[in-house]
Amino acid sequence: MKKSVISMLLMICLLIFAACSSTNKDLIDYEGNYEGDYSNSNGDYNDNYDKGDSGYYDNADAESYEPGYDEGDNASYPGDSGDTGYEDWESSDSENYNGFDPEESEPSEEPKPGELIENEWVETKTENTSTFSIDVDTASYTLIRNHLMNYNYMPPKDQVRIEEMVNYFDYEYPQPEEGKPFSVTMEMTDSPWRGDTKLVMFGLQGKQLAADEITVQNLVFLIDVSGSMYGANKLGLLKTSFKKLVEKLNKDDKVSIVTYASGTAVVLDSVSGDKKDEIIAAIEDLKAGGSTAGAAGIQSAYALAEKNYSKDANNRIILATDGDFNVGIYDTGELVSYIETERNKGIYLTILGFGMGNYQDDRMEQLSNAGNGNYFYVDNERESDKIFTYDLMGTMFTIAKDVKLQVVFNPAKIAKYRLIGYENRVMANEDFNDDTKDAGEIGAGHRVTAFYEVFLAEKKAAETPETETDPEEGGSEPAAEPETEFGEDDFLVLKMRYKEPNADISKYMDTTMNSANVTAEMSQNMGFASAVAEFGMLLRDSKFKADSSYDSVLKRAQANIGKDIFGFRGEFLEMVEIAKTLDK
């Protein structure tokens, strides 16, 4: 009897074990990730599900890829075909998978950005000085637009960088005076979202370069051709975009092309800009397939840039990728350190993002900042025109580097202040006078806009603390700045430090805001820019949004839309309307 019971129990255990094994086989993918039903009980898409093409295609398919290929999945959740992480299949048989090798490297486990950081209110009696690096990147805005307009989906809050949204648009700031790299525009008026505060705007306008001032280009196109780049809105759009850039090259410019997938390859080595047919043919021949050895590609591109380096040229790598590195060095900190070392050799890095799915926005931003470059995101043909016809060419011709802004508030006039956006560009006040500290760059014709929200002081505060002064200009020390002194009518002093493109020692500028800069009504520039900033606070669900509303954004943006030659401001209104319907 006992033997019979024991036998029966053993049989039941074996059946249960077999059932569990069968179930687990269906639910566990190659890397051990759960791949169950793609929707939850609310009908929301599961983050691990990439709709459309599963990415299990063979190299024969990749070889036949054409730029006009239509994935047919651009109207739903942002998961592009080929983004599942299984791009390097040589056949439909999974045994032939030759992508990521666990023995070679661990998959990236970079932490996702944590709790959203926002600049807090600061009391001027405690600290009346605020310092930050300028930023002319625009990737955040186009990522947001892609989520809203292509996928009808609210963007992740940690991808909303207000300064990049504001700086996406052109503003009518005056050209700088002779001998100055940029002009400064200042304005203060009532805050549109809070009745007891004022809004302060600073606008910097970079000078335009004459034809004889344009530097020769020594460029390395570093192009991601891994399997995850397969698709019309990735490699197809990339090809179309880079051909526009090639058409703008001169005979003295040089172009090299490095590609990376499972490994790296040098496609072109220092080809003259007048050989456009050769360069375009090389771009057209690119095919997608393989895993993503992004770090190896970066190292190969820098090695080639060093080999072809010219002290009289703009030595720059232009990285085009969907941002997903899964072979080799994958730690962002290591990559940042490596790129900073190369930056100090005079080789800069610009990054262009394509596609969605596994796109790593935070990593791309960090790498471009480390490389003294700029970061753009290309979501459609129209954006490609904007970037490759106007924006990219301007950023490649740096007119001022390591540009730092320091605002010293008069406690007798300003009680509290907070910087809107620029959270990852904030600097220690002592870094303002330290020329070894890296900061942002301004390209030819570019604009930088920044906002502070302030409380006016109700009564005169204690005497303003004196600020340290620099040594006299000359030698190896940065230019001296005057001691900060406020007149009776002064609200703040805006100090600026910058280096000329080939200089190591900074120059100093400053300008004072007084009652002449205070207006009862916003200018057209401030009206539209503040609407964009308010929209950013709504998308972030900022704790400082106060009485912000989509209706307020729409009303002010419409009233200050201006000429809108290219239609981007009108498109902004469409985005706000979509967000208004989604944000319930």
Encode pLDDT of 173-200 as tens digits: 999 998 899 999 999 999 999 999 999 9
Encode pLDDT of 559-579 as tens digits: 999 999 889 999 999 999 999
What local confidence, expressed as pLDDT, does residue 262 receive?
A: 86
Q: Which of 165, 185, 188 is nearest to 173 (CA)?
A: 185
Q: Where are the alpha helices (DSSP H) in 255-293?
A: 276-284
Q: pTM of this prediction?
A: 0.76
Encode pLDDT of 285-297 as tens digits: 999 998 877 888 9
**CA atoms of 49 and 34, how far apart (whole Å):** 10
Kindly state the average pLDDT of the residues 118-124.
97
Answer positive or negative: Cα dihedral of 185, 191, 193, 197: positive
Could you tell me if 382 and 438 lie in one domain? no
Kindly state the average pLDDT of the residues 373-383.
91
**CA atoms of 85 and 97, how far apart (whole Å):** 11
Residue 385 burial by CB count (10 A; 0-12/13-18/19+): exposed, middle or buried? middle
Range of the domain at 285: 216-396
In a domain, 327, yes or no: yes
Could you tell me if 320 and 376 lie in one domain? yes
Q: Which of 207-221, 347-361, 520-534 has the lowest mean pLDDT?
A: 347-361
- Tell me the sheet residues that pair with 255: 219, 271
Q: What does the block give as tokens for 314?
A: 């703009």
Q: CA 180, 186, 187 angle in degrees (round to 5)?
A: 165
**CA atoms of 580 and 249, how far apart (whole Å):** 43
pLDDT at 128 over 90: yes
Could you tell me if 380 and 412 lie in one domain? no
In a domain, 363, yes or no: yes
In a domain, 568, yes or no: no
pLDDT interval class at 470 (50, 70, 90): very low
pLDDT at 69 over 70: no
- Express as a percent the part of the chain with pLDDT over 90: 59
Could you tell me if 321 and 279 lie in one domain? yes
3-state secondary structure of 228: helix
Q: Looking at 17-155, which runs of residues are DSSP E strands?
A: 122-123, 129-133
What local confidence, expressed as pLDDT, does residue 7 receive?
A: 55
In a domain, 584, yes or no: no
pLDDT at 464 over 80: no
In a domain, 251, yes or no: yes
What local confidence, expressed as pLDDT, does residue 357 receive?
A: 65
Could you tell me if 244 and 368 lie in one domain? yes
- What is the number of domains present in the chain? 2
**CA atoms of 513 and 517, how far apart (whole Å):** 6
In a domain, 102, yes or no: no
Q: Which of 282, 274, 277, 272 is nearest to 238 (CA)?
A: 282
In a domain, 347, yes or no: yes
Within 10 angstroms of residue 506's Cβ, the number of other Cβ atoms is 25
Strands 198-206 and 182-190 turn out to be antiparallel
Q: Looking at 328-431, which runs of residues are DSSP E strands?
A: 348-354, 375-378, 398-409, 414-420, 426-427
Could you tell me if 377 and 237 lie in one domain? yes
**CATH number of the domain bearing residue 311:** 3.40.50.410
**CA atoms of 390 and 400, how far apart (whole Å):** 18
What local confidence, expressed as pLDDT, does residue 105 receive?
A: 34
Could you tell me if 376 and 410 lie in one domain? no
Could you tell me if 257 and 291 lie in one domain? yes
What local confidence, expressed as pLDDT, does residue 350 receive?
A: 93
Could you tell me if 392 and 420 lie in one domain? no
In a domain, 272, yes or no: yes
Could you tell me if 414 and 494 lie in one domain? yes
Could you tell me if 158 and 299 lie in one domain? no
Question: Looking at 365, 380, 396, which one is the last position of a domain?
Answer: 396
